[in-house]
Amino acid sequence: MADPSQISRLDKLRITREYLAYQLQRTDTAIRELAAQEKQNRHRAEQARADQGWKIQPKRGEAPPVLHRGGCATYKAKDGMLLDRGQARLAVTHETYIVMCEICTPQTDLQEG
């Protein structure tokens, strides 16, 4: 093994650069992994929020308005347009005619609970 005092300054700088490049690569990998994990966590939180809410598809032509669970893919509501249980119950009782989505069956979760 060579005596460290015999390694030229240029070689020391090249070794240091290689080590720092390695550390940068590892840091970039960790950042990408954490960013992906945070994105998944945000998506899960948004999905959980949607699953706990309801949304109303507006009346179209002769078709009556339709009540959906927040996570129902049949109708995409705009962000922030979710109703809580009380609001959904109120809409169902005060709306002249509102139908329940046959796919997500929102009425099962409108019961007292």
Structure tokens at 60: 């179209």
Handedness of CA 58, 62, 63, 65 (dihedral sign): positive
Give Cα 68 to chain centroid, integer Å. Answer: 19
**Domain extent listing, the chain:** 8-47, 53-109
* pLDDT tens profile 41-59: 999 998 888 788 888 888 8
Average pLDDT, whole number, for the chain? 87
Lowest mean pLDDT segment, chosen from 4-13, 17-26, 85-94? 85-94
Contacts of 88 (CB under 8 A, 6+ apart): 53, 54, 67, 106, 110
* pLDDT tens profile 64-97: 899 998 888 888 877 668 888 888 888 888 767 8
**Residue matched to tokens 């992994």:** 33
